């Protein structure tokens, strides 16, 4: 692996709005090296996409989020993968993880309202072939997501950590 690739990717993950020149300064590389590392990472599907974390509530546009614990009947020759991949294709699904513990898949979903959550889980997810059971937990408030503070009060009032 190119030694500059990992630090470049860490910088992109921290803030994808940075220019190649800004990243180059932080990783002690040249702008050309950074641009090439990013291009290669995109071609190799290491970088899968870019996006912004948006607090829709500040615009008066609320979204309801839920976490669904899914118990799955493993399929012959493919285990949990076939069911997980089918679940991942739904527009309501934000994230799917295969996990250890009391259930098999952790599915994070979003909808415009509670009815959307209810309809998706009750009519589409729970009735899928291979799904044995679901437990749904509605998220009441988001404070921090993927390392980004959603709650403005947290952003402006970070506590010092003392060791």
The b/e string for 12-39 (b: 16+ C-beta within 10 A; e otherwise) is beeeeebebeebbeebebeeebbbbbbe
pLDDT in tens, 57-75: 888 888 999 999 999 999 8
Let me know: does 65 contact 109? Beta carbons within 8 Å: yes
pLDDT in tens, 89-135: 999 999 999 999 999 999 999 999 999 999 999 999 999 999 999 99
pLDDT in tens, 23-47: 999 999 999 999 999 999 999 999 9
Collapsing DSSP to helix, strand or coil, 56 comes out as: helix
Helix, strand and coil content of the chain, in percent to the nearest 5, comes to 35, 20, 40
Please state whether the predicted TM-score (pTM) of the whole model is above 0.85: no
């Amino acid at each position: 692996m190119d030694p500059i690739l990992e630090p470049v990717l860490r910088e992109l993950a921290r803030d994808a709005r940075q220019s190649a020149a800004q990243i180059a300064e932080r990783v002690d590389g040249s702008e050309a090296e950074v641009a090439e590392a990013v291009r290669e990472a995109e071609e190799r599907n290491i970088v899968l996409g870019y996006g912004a974390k948006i607090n829709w509530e500040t615009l008066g546009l609320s979204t309801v989020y839920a976490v669904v614990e899914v118990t799955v009947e493993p399929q012959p020759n493919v285990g949990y993968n076939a069911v997980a991949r089918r679940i991942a294709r739904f527009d309501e699904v934000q994230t799917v993880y295969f996990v250890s513990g009391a259930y098999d898949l952790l599915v994070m979903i979003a909808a415009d309202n509670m009815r959307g959550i209810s309809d998706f889980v009750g009519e589409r997810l729970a009735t899928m072939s291979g799904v044995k059971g679901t437990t749904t937990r509605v998220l009441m408030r988001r404070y921090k997501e993927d390392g980004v503070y959603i709650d403005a009060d947290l952003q402006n009032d970070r506590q010092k950590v003392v060791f």
